[in-house]
Structure 1
Amino acid sequence: MRQRPSARLLVLDPDDRVLLFRFRFDTGPLAGTTYWATPGGGLDEGESFVDAARRELREETGIEAEVVEAVAVRHTQFRLSTGEMVAAEERYFLVRAFAEIDISRNPDPVERAFISEARWWTIDELTQSVETIFPENIAEMLGKA
């Protein structure tokens, strides 16, 4: 199984709500799957986790912000939209957002095809939701951040 190091972002607005993207797959190996997840993605060749976090934040939200060090690490396995199974080391970075996000300029055509919505969530909404949300322990991560 291929290793996939990735940088994920816990983006908080001034009201301490966290930004999540809704992923919806209508075709391919994940057809019928819908879930919410943090912005972020895999590292490019030779890229550090911090550099990947900055790049992903800029690409997926349009925000330029200070990214310093990971506040949480998660190891998981999952299926990519191509059907490939990967073993991921995800490092989570906390970022405060004071600007509007713009997901429409994401340069990744695959992500543009599957990200159907962006939403700011309160901790209460996260803990009470029946939706599938990744990471599963996001409320705990935010409580420690």
Structure 2
Amino acid sequence: MPAEASSHDAYESYAPYASYESGAGAAGEGVEDSYKGGLRKVARVVLLDPQERILLLHGHEPDDPADNWWFTPGGGLEGDESREEAALRELAEETGITDVELGPVLWRRRCSFPFAGRRWDQDEWYYLARTTQTATAAAGLTELERRSVAGARWWTCQELTEAHETVYPTRSPSC
């Protein structure tokens, strides 16, 4: 990661990427252009399956796939939706997973990081969730997300511990 990219750790180090607030139109249409700066309210999901594996998305800078990391699903609130509603909507859009038991907030953080040529300032809430649905299908990605998300994977605690890749969040409820 470039030196400036490490500034996403300014407050705490959990996730360098989030999906983008939506504007008008169908899911994924022009969404990334609606974030104009300021503090963005975000809901993220720490999703566990029956084997206690965590689902992470594989992201990268849109113009530099070598600058990559794994991160939790989630994104910005739309309109007057609650954080819980945003968490479930983002999870469905980014993974296709809808059979979810949303649990409590695990932690909160404020962060600032560079991504896709601009700075993102976010107030993120991380929710624990459980599912038995393990197949993923990212049907609701924005254009920018389609250029910056390479896939999804379920990780065991041991795999996360042994990984030589950048993974966010750095804390995990199952490890």
Is TM more than 0.5 here? yes
The answer on whether the counterparts of 1:26 and 1:33 sit within 8 Å (CA) in structure 2 is: no
CA separation in 2, counterparts of 1:31 and 1:98?
Answer: 31
Q: C-alpha deviations, 1:36-82, integer Å up to 9, x for none?
A: 0001111123221111001111111212223243121122111232x
- Is the contact between residue 9 and residue 95 of structure 1 (CA under 8 Å) also seen in structure 2? yes
Structure 1 residue aligned with 2:108, among 63, 68, 73?
73
Cα shift at 1:31: 6.0
Aligned residue among 82, 85, 93 for 1:51: 85
Q: Normalising by structure 1, what TM-score?
A: 0.83
Residues of 1 paired with 2:70 and 2:124: CA distance?
Answer: 16
Distance 1:125 1:131, change over 3 A: same
Counting only pairs closer than 5 Å after superposition, residues 14-53 of structure 1 correspond to structure 2 as 14-27=50-63, 32-53=66-87
Question: Percent same amino acid among aligned pairs?
Answer: 36
Give the direction of change, closer, same or farther, for the CA distance of 1:116–1:45 in structure 2 (3 Å limit).
same
The TM-score with structure 2 as length reference comes to: 0.70
Secondary structure, in 3 states, of the residue corresponding to 1:54?
helix
Shift of the 113–26 alpha-carbon distance from structure 1 to 2, 3 Å rule, reads closer
Change (3 A) 1:119 1:31: closer
Tell me the secondary structure at the aligned position of residue 133 of structure 1. Answer: coil
Which sections of structure 2, spanning at least 5 residues, go unmatched?
1-36
Q: In the aligned structure 2, how far is the partner of 1:55 from the partner of 1:104? A: 12
**CA displacement, residues 2-25 of structure 1 (integer Å, 9 cap, x when unaligned):** 212111111111100000011123
Contact 1:43 1:52 in 2 (8 A): yes
User: Do 1:20 and 1:120's aligned partners in 2 also have CA atoms closer than 8 Å?
Assistant: yes
Query: In structure 1, how many angstroms separate the alpha carbons of the residues matched to 2:60 and 2:81?
Result: 28
User: Size of the alignment, in residue pairs?
Assistant: 138
Q: Considering only aligned residues, what root-mean-square deviation do their CA atoms show, in Å?
A: 2.0
Aligned partner of residue 105 in structure 1, secondary structure: coil
